[in-house]
Amino acid sequence: MVLYHSEVDNCLLIYASATLLYGGTILYRAKKNRVEKAIPFLLGILLLFALEILCFATLRSYLGLSLFSLACLIFCIYTPTQAMLPVDRKAVLITGSDSGIGHELAKYLDHLGFTVFATVLNDKGPGAETLRKTCSERLSILRMDVTNSAQIKDVYLEVKRKLQNEDLWGVINNAGIMGYTADGELLPMRSYKQCMDVNFFGPVELSKTFLPLLRKSKGRLINISSLAGGIPMPRFAAYGASKAALSMFSGVMRQELSKWGIKVVAIHPSAFRTGIQGNPELWNKEEQNLLDNLTPDVKKDYGEDYIHSMKTMLIHIPSFSASDFSPVLYDVTHALLAVHPHGLYTPGKNAYKFLLLFCYSPLWFYDFFMSKCMSPPSIPSALRVTETKSKN
């Protein structure tokens, strides 16, 4: 069929209008239902775009427009939707609410209408005082160290007493430490044990303690892991290993607890400005502890200048960390209220991209990429000597 210019222009205008109408509807549904990261959804968008070009280039008629409209309609109908549960009479327990993600979560969930039990290390500290001033009377502040079994039991009894007619709907294991960042060979065993105690054994014990309440409510167990718990990252041997253990625990519990109606979720945030990296006073103390525990040959091979350079990464963490916590807050809320929550959320800039790169690219390419992204400011002393000799 031969179309005149006016007919082509009209057809093009109709195609453009249909694209805006269907595209806007699809993107709105995607944003509302939190499916913007789903690979099948993105592939569907690309296929629709290719179909539109094909229909216009080959058919150039209302038949082509009809086929394209039908495809968009089918895609809209079958785009995954997520029914959300009401907040009414739902109570959640959040660990590590002194600062960072736990602190922001406590305020945000209280604002949404949840009954919040926020555990803190220091119930007289600035974080606890801020929660008291800014949150409603529904929020309770409870002192707890996740490595202290007696305190976990006390909090369990207190939560059970305060629940009255409500059920505990969610347990959010957020409390965590990062420790000092350095090559795995340099880190003392104390750093590994401390990270495992706080980031893994603590959440496991707390989960086991509160699971009877979650079985009763058929609620949610949410573990805040880390991007470092999903992909290997240089100088995060202790922290990454503990978070990887927590992620694996989440996956196993997700399978085992499904028969009880409990949904288990792992959250892998990228870098957020939480202050988890500590402060210069703490870094100096950890660095001295590291130096005191090194054998003479290891200290000689690495060199003290290389060891001192490890602090550079800690100093620069805030510069590439996001100050807006909303991606984490939205994902945790979705994990709490969606009828069918995802098993894994990756809030934050580039978190999903790094995970895809690790899962689908050759390891040599991933290792090369990470060496460029996270290369240390200097190289070990023994390697510098070897490099100088080879040049000579």
Give the C-alpha distances (Å, rounded to integers) separating 384 from 182, 256, 305, 388, 391: 18, 51, 12, 6, 11
Domain count, the chain: 2
DSSP symbols for 349-378: TTHHHHHHHHHHS-HHHHHHHHHHHS--SS
Residue 67 predicted with pLDDT over 80: no
Q: Could you read off the pLDDT of 19-54 as tens digits, one per residue? A: 666 666 666 655 555 444 444 555 555 666 666 666
- Are residues 143 and 203 located together in one domain of the fold? yes
Please tell me which residue in 15, 108, 180, 239 is annotated as part of the active site.
239
Indicate the average pLDDT of the chain.
Answer: 82
**48, 78, 108: which is the final residue of a domain?**
78
- Are residues 34 and 126 located together in one domain of the fold? no
Could you count the other beta carbons within 10 Å of the beta carbon of residue 19?
15
Active site residue 62: no
- Are residues 70 and 98 located together in one domain of the fold? no
Asked, for residue 85, whether it belongs to a domain, the answer is no
- Are residues 189 and 48 located together in one domain of the fold? no
Asked, for residue 108, whether it belongs to a domain, the answer is yes
Mean pLDDT of 166-180: 91
Question: Residue 317 is part of a domain; what is its CATH number?
Answer: 3.40.50.720
Asked, for residue 184, whether it belongs to a domain, the answer is yes
Q: Could you read off the pLDDT of 122-148 as tens digits, one per residue? A: 999 999 999 999 999 999 999 999 999
319-342: b or e for each residue (b if 16 or more CB lie within 10 Å)?
A: eebbeebebbbebbbbbbbbeebb
- Euclidean distance between CA atoms 25 and 19, whole angstroms: 10
Asked, for residue 382, whether it belongs to a domain, the answer is no
Mean pLDDT of 177-200: 90
Q: Could you read off the pLDDT of 245-254 as tens digits, one per residue? A: 999 999 999 9
Q: Is 103 helix (H, G, I), strand (E, B) or coil?
A: helix
Mean pLDDT of 11-20: 63
Confidence band of 333 (pLDDT split at 50, 70, 90): very high
Q: What tokens were used for 67?
A: 């086929």
- Are residues 240 and 356 located together in one domain of the fold? yes
Asked, for residue 242, whether it belongs to a domain, the answer is yes
Q: Which domain holds residue 35?
A: 5-78
Asked, for residue 185, whether it belongs to a domain, the answer is yes
Q: Could you read off the pLDDT of 145-155 as tens digits, one per residue? A: 999 999 999 99
- Euclidean distance between CA atoms 225 and 266, whole angstroms: 6
Asked, for residue 292, whether it belongs to a domain, the answer is yes
